[in-house]
Amino acid sequence: MERPEAEVLGASDSCQAGEAEPGTGPAEEEPGGGAAGTMMEDCLSKKIEITVSEAEKRTGRNAMNMQETYTAYLIETRAVESQTEGQCSPPDSLWRRYSEFELLRNYLLVNYPHIVVPPLPEKRAEFVWHKLSADNMDPDFVERRRIGLENFLIRVASHPIICQDKIFYSFLTQEGGWKEMVNETGFQLKADSRLKALNATFRVKNPDKRFTELKHYSDELQSVISHLLRVRARVADRLYGVYKVHGNYGRVFSEWSAIEKEMGDGLQSAGHHMDVYAASIDDILEEEEHYADQLKEYLFYAEALRAVCRKHELMQYDLEMAAQDLASKKQQCEELATGTLRTFSLKGMTSKLFGQETPEQREGKIKVLEEQIHEGEEQLKSKNVEGREFVKSAWTDIERFKEQKNQDLKEALINYAVMQISMCKKGIQVWTNAKECFSKM
């Protein structure tokens, strides 16, 4: 009996995984026949404008009939065509809780395992400096999360594949009955267990080199951004202190001006500039939080990348288990047909102790095994095809994500640098103004 081809081929080998580094795979057409560029033109974001316009604190009863306080977010959608034609129709609107956003994303993760699904903003504040509240009901935090939820919806609506999902469209347009509609899809039953995923990680024999390296990259990306956010929080703490200490200059100059006749006006004016400088740090650090949130988005994107890698490991593991089971059945069939045993088995020992099977019994077992082998070969062939399609689709989306990531992070870092330069220029201007005040004394 020849060994099943898929046992040594695998989903990874069928895509020549060892010949390409992460990020070098060719951009393939997405399933469905349309090129990615054509699909981008059909994105939902091109047809409707999506905003999360406000957040509202509410009180209600949870599933345990206990009173809880939560935040609801107002989603507004308006057709782009009506705006281009000069019509200003009122937007459609509905309210959603954060938990409903979570349900939507979980649905997308299960139904589109080959997609790097955009992450949600943090549920509770992380990497905060001491003047920021970690309370998830804090108005400033709720406002930043509102912006993050809007960004999430725009990301999904701009994706060439998941933007076309009916459940996502209903999330934007149908307030009542949406949860029931999602649960009726049965997506929870298709979700892979964490234990199964962990088992696949350690037991897969032929991992795809590209996905292994991508998983390592996502770990490194998460680590680097985490360190960057911690550094930024420490700098913000110290910067806040430095700026606020400048307020002491203002107080001292004001007190000094009271005992000076000729220098009084100059000292008073200089003190005013110091007070303005000290107060400006609040707006500066509030603007900094915007760039910190952009970095946090890619901190959470790292987990989305790992989710795609884990799914591939699971598929590869299932493929290898199917190939192993098929090889075992072929060996059993060969042993029954020839009457020889290659390996020790309980059945073989039983036969020696209690006598051999009759030819009819052996023929019956061989027939059953042949049917199982045929089914196993078809199943293996199907898993190989499924694996190849997954790798093709996943790598296409990974390429799309990498292009998006490079552009977004480049823009965020440049804007952050520009903000720091502007902040330094304002500091120079304050001291220049103070110098002029001193010169007029």
Beta-carbon contacts of residue 279 (< 8 Å; ≥ 6 apart):
247
Under DSSP, the state recorded for 14 is T
Q: Residue 21: what are its φ and ψ, rounded to 5°?
A: -85, 155
Residue 36: CB atoms within 10 Å? 16
Structure tokens at 357: 């099977």
pLDDT of 194: 65
SS3 at position 344:
coil
Confidence grade of residue 361 (pLDDT, cut at 50, 70, 90): confident
CATH pick for 192-340+366-440 out of 3.30.750.24, 3.10.20.30, 1.20.1270.60, 3.40.50.1010: 1.20.1270.60
Structure tokens at 116: 């790097």
* Residue in 3, 9, 2 with CA at minimum distance from that of residue 383: 9
What angle do helix axes 281-338 and 194-203 make, rounded to 10 degrees?
70
CA dist 309 and 401 (Å) reads 14
Confidence grade of residue 60 (pLDDT, cut at 50, 70, 90): confident
Structure tokens at 112: 């589109």
pLDDT surpassing 70 at residue 356: no
What pTM, to 2 d.p., does this model score? 0.80
pLDDT surpassing 70 at residue 27: no
SS3 at position 312:
helix
User: Tens of pLDDT along 253-292?
Assistant: 999 999 988 899 999 999 999 999 999 998 888 888 888 8
pLDDT surpassing 70 at residue 377: yes
Domain boundaries of the chain, sorted by first residue? 192-340+366-440
Q: Is residue 21 within 8 Å of 402, Cβ to Cβ?
A: no
pLDDT surpassing 80 at residue 90: no
Mean pLDDT of the chain: 83
CA dist 301 and 224 (Å) reads 13
pLDDT of 216: 95
The amino acid at 184: E
Q: Is residue 77 within 8 Å of 92, Cβ to Cβ?
A: yes
Mean pLDDT on 395-417 = 95
245-249, 301-305, 327-331, 332-336: which has the minimum mean pLDDT? 332-336
Q: Residue 373: what are its φ and ψ, rounded to 5°?
A: -65, -40
Residue 151 zone, left/alpha/beta (φ > 0; ψ -120 to 50; rest):
alpha
User: Tens of pLDDT along 137-147?
Assistant: 788 888 989 99
pLDDT surpassing 50 at residue 10: no
pLDDT of 49: 93
CA dist 135 and 57 (Å) reads 13
